[in-house]
With several copies, the nearest count.
Chain A
Amino acid sequence: MAWTREQMAARAAKELRDGFYVNLGIGIPTLVSNYIPEGMSVQLQSENGMLGMGPFPYEGEEDPDLINAGKQTVTELPTTSFFSSADSFAMVRGGHIDLSILGAMQVAENGDLANWMIPGKMVKGMGGAMDLVAGVKKVVVVMEHVAKGKDGSESPKLLKACDLPLTGTQVVDMVITDLGVFTIDKEGDGGMTLIELADGVTVDEIKARTEAAFKVAV
């Protein structure tokens, strides 16, 4: 009943606009590139230093000098340009990228985001996530609505306040989960609003599985 990963990616793709420059995170966000509407010009940025990222190469055509920020082999397009990581993050931090779609561990109702560190576990580092959420014009989180423990227990990921260390404060504009879509008025005090339901999901079900307060406008 809830959306699949593919459906979540397809929903995120509806935030794309013609002419957009977009950075996609690892995981479900990567799938969004499969749903760019025909005829729409969208250029993907990879924060290691590439604009105009193409699809994975055909087997045998992998180039070790051509990888994305997830360290996966990718390809060039006719629109591609390469630049240094300093120039790449100047682009990110300077507000030139229209849209960042990324995963999260927790999102708070004021737009706070946590997605890089669980205290007590090995810390891998934030990579470019803090720069992306601080710099990109619009930040869309795509994630499972709740976290599931090994014992099958559920804990909410949409919270009143994040308890994990933050990646950024008041940075998230939209959250797409397997249950629905929320907008966040990150700079005003409009809070969080549920604007869409996944097929067959009810507002009550979402309320039961969400800690954050939210308005309903479905």
Chain B
Amino acid sequence: MKKVHASAKEALAGVLRDGMTIMAGGFGLCGIPNVLIEAVKESGVKDLTVVSNNAGIDGAGLGLLLETRQIRKMISSYVGENKLFAQQYLAGELELEFNPQGTLAERIRAGGAGIPAFFTKTGVGTLIAEGKEVRNFDGHDYVMETGLFADVSLVHAWKGDTEGNLIYRKTARNFNPMMATASRMTIAQVEHLVEPGSLDPDHIITPGIYVKRMIHVPDVEKMIEKRTTRERPAA
């Protein structure tokens, strides 16, 4: 079972179809599977439902798929950094389902973990709870949320071995590990591709069972959305 593919295009071969649901890892532009997203753009697949915490920015990340109008619906928690998104949404060209960030993360984890629904305090008494079951446990109200499962998950990792075991770096971990568990076809782009045995088995975050295909992206470009610095103290 060879998991490593020569290119993003090859890794996506045979898995894309119009109308499908894709999960894309990342928070803002941090830890996004940008090379795989570009290949989705090149494929021309359309009417996509995309589950991702954010929608990229104009010209980068999922912003690329907005430009080409390949996305029909976004399931996200925050989309504030994208003007094109706002235009398409206000024009009624794009559907949008907002989830509280923690609810979104937990729905994805639940989908991968065989849990069809769970209760959470988040959003009780707000628009988010409308139409959903609310139930009292031990004197507090909780809203029922359902698991999310996709056709394809695209994730970014720092290191991966050829068995699909993945390790993430710093806050680039974010949504990637849950999304890796919550689809039938998880495809990973890894910055460092190594042989089995190179990763300490206690450090692996995503076991290889979840990763069906992978590509090596040694020189991947990483963007910074809000560069903030402090002054160096005088020497």
Contacts and interface: CB of A to CB of B under 8 A. Distances in A.
A–B direct touch, CB within 8 Å, in complex? yes
A19 B164 CA distance: 12
Contacts of A169: 124-126
B109 to A, nearest CB: 4
Interface of A: 18-19, 21, 41, 43, 45-52, 55-59, 61-74, 76-86, 88-97, 112, 117, 122-131, 134-135, 165-169
Q: For chain B, give the interface size range.
A: 35 or more
Nearest to B181: A94
A73 B165 contact: no
Contacts of B208: 43, 51-52, 79, 81
Interface stretch (B8-16, B41-49, B221-229): B221-229
11 contacts: A62-B229, A64-B224, A73-B226, A79-B196, A84-B175, A89-B103, A90-B112, A91-B209, A122-B86, A123-B98, A131-B103
A82 B114 contact: no
B127 to A, nearest CB: 5
Contacts of B121: 93, 134-135
Given A66-B171, A169-B126, A126 B177 contact: no
Nearest to B103: A131
Given A84-B176, A90-B181, A72 B102 contact: no
A99 to B, nearest CB: 12
Given A66-B171, A97-B209, A86 B163 contact: no
B189 interface: no
A134 B232 contact: no
Interface string B147-168: 0000000000010010101001
Nearest to B27: A48
Contact of B170 (A61, A63, A72): A63
B24 interface: no
B178 interface: yes
Nearest to A130: B100
Nearest to A47: B101
A146 B50 CA distance: 39
Interface string B111-141: 1111100001111111110000000000000
